[in-house]
Structure 1
Amino acid sequence: MANPLDGEAIEDLGRYIKAQREIARLSVRHLARIAQVSDSYLSQIEKGRYQPSAQVLTNLAQGLNLQPDVLFRMAGWLPAPCGDTVPGVEDAIRRDNRLTESQRTALAQLYRSMVDG
């Protein structure tokens, strides 16, 4: 699992974690507390300056109500399943409380139709 990410992949992982935190309406401080890291360390992860350990990713996934394998795939530690879409997009749509159920369904179907061709 010690597969180091390149700079762009680390930045993508950090942006994804930040986006999920914002969707969950969690502060950096609150998520850091859940993940058992300092706020400054979480902030650096979100900026793509540090590659978190497997334990930190597991804790972040728990705090974001995600399956750890979503973050592990983004970290390059697990292969993407065949035909997989961008990790967590549909999960994020389902969890966005600003949308009605019918909007979530429509948006998820639209997303699938666009990525599946």
Structure 2
Amino acid sequence: MASLNVGSLGEYIREQRRSAQYSLRQLAEAAGVSNPYLSQIERGLRKPSAEILQQIAKALRISAETLYVQAGILEERPAGGVDLRAAILADTAISEQQKHALLAVYAAFVKENEAGQG
């Protein structure tokens, strides 16, 4: 799993917020997070969870996968097909720890299969 690039994520969210013509306060309210927390995310001081990213994406009317890619949680994929990683990260029925465990197992299987084909 890629590392979280908090700084550029915050810049990206700020750009999206401005292009949607939202104030920081308006986006925070729409996403269900506090104004100071959103400000810290935009300034690269906080690492938001996948669930918070999903709430922000919904408020900005962009795909959560876009923010996951920007955050380095997901690698950019070619268009088409359902992304299992995005589905796992978006699932509210399991904890963040369980999500990361599932993603680790999935990544191990993919790596194993790629090694077997090489």
Q: Is this a same-fold pair by TM over 0.5?
A: yes
TM-score (norm 1): 0.62
Mapped to 2, the partners of 1:80 and 1:54 lie a distance apart of: 16
Mapped to 2, the partners of 1:59 and 1:22 lie a distance apart of: 17
- Residue 96 of structure 1 aligns with which residue? none
Mapped to 2, the partners of 1:47 and 1:10 lie a distance apart of: 9
- Residue 69 of structure 1 aligns with which residue? 65
Could you tell me which of 11, 14, 29 is aligned with 1:15? 11
Q: What RMSD over aligned residues (CA atoms) do the two structures have, in Å?
A: 1.8
The unaligned stretches of length 5 or more in structure 1 are 84-117
SS in 1 for 2:9: helix
- Letter of the 1:65 partner, please give it: R
TM-score (norm 2): 0.62
| Larger of the two Rg values belongs to structure | 2
Mapped to 2, the partners of 1:35 and 1:63 lie a distance apart of: 5
Mapped to 1, the partners of 2:75 and 2:45 lie a distance apart of: 23
Residue identity over aligned pairs, in percent, reads 42
Could you tell me which of 31, 37, 40 is aligned with 1:35? 31
Equivalences, count? 79
Matches within 5 A, 1:1-117: 4-5=3-4, 9-82=5-78
CA contact (8 A) 2:3 2:73 kept: no
